[in-house]
Structure 1
């Protein structure tokens, strides 16, 4: 299921972010996403079973570490591509000893934002 980046909560719970990043498969996936890729491409590149790849991609997207976009094809076979949705993550402790996660996000070019918007419009019509 594609998540709407416009409705993204920019402050996921620190425990959720740390849990999502807590294993080698998740960090391998993030490292492999130097450009938008499909789950199959990520699975092959990281040598992770496809079912595990989908699970990890879903978990990372749920805490806003990845963005999903849908590539519309003329043949009707739509493809979801994944990209890293952050430039930097900082975990810190407040004066009250609470963990805080801050993420800096890349600025997306206007043409990409417009293409995403058109993809959503086409899906709804």
Structure 2
């Protein structure tokens, strides 16, 4: 199970602040209640598709979204995006610098199995 605040993959504080300060990014977060393609996100958020791609990149760079390739029945693949956080916390570190903490949703059974398989593959 993932830790409540993922420090191993902590994003850059400025990347998180930039993404959350962007109105288009916030609209995307609001509509992304299930995995969606960029086109679906653009339609649901009323953000132009070309702008949506830039916003999705901002959110992914800030570790607030995950993207994954999904194989279609016709053999092609598409990319879907889903939220990768439940909570963002900005805190004051011991050295008086600002730090960001990201609370991740619990890993699914498939994700845990994928992680386990990746670890076993490294060992062999």
TM-score, normalised via structure 2 length: 0.79
Unaligned runs of 5+ in 1: 1-8, 117-125
Matched, 1:48 2:54: no
- Number of residue pairs matched by the alignment: 111
Unaligned runs of 5+ in 2: 1-7, 116-124
CA RMSD of aligned residues (A): 2.4
- What is the CA distance between 1:62 and its match in structure 2? 1.3
Residue 30 of structure 2 aligns to a residue whose secondary structure is: helix
Matched, 1:102 2:101: yes
Give the whole-Å Cα distance in 2 for the aligned partners of 1:77 and 1:115. 22
Q: For each residue in 1:98-118, what CA deviation from the matched residue of structure 2 results, as whole angstroms up to 9, or x when unmatched?
A: 1110011011212255579xx
| Higher Cα radius of gyration | 2
TM-score, normalised via structure 1 length: 0.79
